[in-house]
């Protein structure tokens, strides 16, 4: 029994480190090549210090190795299997999103971009013109008459800020 408790605790600790979307994206970006903070900052669209903090957390869990080259530090995965494990998580999420076409479509697009890193986010955004407008707000509720109801939070405010879902940024719906 104590072995199972230790294994469960270790796995929970690992999952907590992986529980931030930026860290998931960092692992995916490092799947095939090493990168420095500047390239990760550009890919993730967050501050230099934000990238550094995420990298530090991944390093403390021994998921990353670093290599110094002059003033630059390059990061790579200790075991690329962790990226494959996360990809299997996306496949699992796709299966679980069976009735939710919008979510399944976004997960599929993220997986496609991860498998084909030469495809840019802009190319996916250009291709998303054929994606239903409800993708602009993953919590919107399509109504029978074709309109879209925007739910409100318990405090009465609307959920109107864009979200990032597994590496695919949502856009405002056309008015």
Using one digit for the tens of pLDDT, what is the confidence trace for 46-74? Answer: 999 999 999 999 999 999 999 999 999 99
Indicate whether 91 belongs to any domain: no
Computed over every residue of the chain, the mean pLDDT equals 75
44 token code pair: 């993730």
Indicate whether 88 belongs to any domain: no
Are 6 and 71 members of one domain?
yes
Are 71 and 15 members of one domain?
yes
Are 48 and 8 members of one domain?
yes
**Is the distance from CB of 114 to CB of 167 less than 8 angstroms?**
yes
Are 108 and 159 members of one domain?
yes
How many domains in the chain?
2
Supply the pLDDT for residue 145: 46
Q: How far is CA 51 from CA 13, 21, 27, in A?
A: 20, 12, 12
To which residue do tokens 């719906």 refer? 173
Are 40 and 110 members of one domain?
no
pTM confidence score: 0.61
CATH number of the domain encompassing residue 61: 1.10.10.10
Write down which residue in 26, 51, 80 finishes a domain: 80
Indicate whether 71 belongs to any domain: yes
151, with CB counted inside 10 A (0-12, 13-18, 19+), is exposed
Are 101 and 37 members of one domain?
no
Are 76 and 103 members of one domain?
no
Indicate whether 85 belongs to any domain: no
Are 19 and 55 members of one domain?
yes
Are 117 and 148 members of one domain?
yes
78 token code pair: 């200790």
What whole-number percentage of the chain has pLDDT above 90? 47
Q: Which domain holds residue 115?
A: 97-169
Q: CA-to-CA distance for 23 and 19, rounded, in angstroms?
A: 7
Q: CA-to-CA distance for 16 and 169, rounded, in angstroms?
A: 23
Q: CA-to-CA distance for 34 and 30, rounded, in angstroms?
A: 6
Residue 81: pLDDT over 80: yes
Are 69 and 110 members of one domain?
no
Are 73 and 102 members of one domain?
no
Indicate whether 175 belongs to any domain: no
């Amino acid at each position: 029994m104590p072995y199972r408790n230790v294994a469960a605790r270790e796995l929970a600790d690992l999952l907590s480190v992986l529980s931030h979307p930026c860290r998931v994206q960092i692992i995916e970006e490092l799947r095939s090549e090493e990168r420095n903070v500047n390239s990760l900052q550009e890919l993730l669209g967050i501050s230099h210090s934000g990238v550094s903090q995420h990298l530090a957390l991944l390093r403390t869990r021994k998921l990353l190795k670093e290599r110094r080259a002059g003033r630059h530090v390059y990061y790579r995965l200790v075991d690329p299997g962790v990226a494959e494990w996360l990809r299997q998580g996306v496949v699992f999420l796709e299966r679980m999103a069976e009735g939710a076409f919008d979510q399944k479509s976004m997960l599929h697009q993220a997986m496609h971009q991860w498998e084909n890193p030469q495809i840019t986010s802009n190319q996916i955004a250009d291709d998303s013109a054929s994606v239903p407008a409800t993708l602009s707000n993953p919590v919107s509720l399509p109504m029978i008459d074709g309109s879209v109801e925007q739910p409100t939070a318990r405090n009465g405010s609307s959920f109107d800020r864009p979200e990032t879902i597994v590496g695919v940024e949502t856009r405002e719906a056309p008015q």
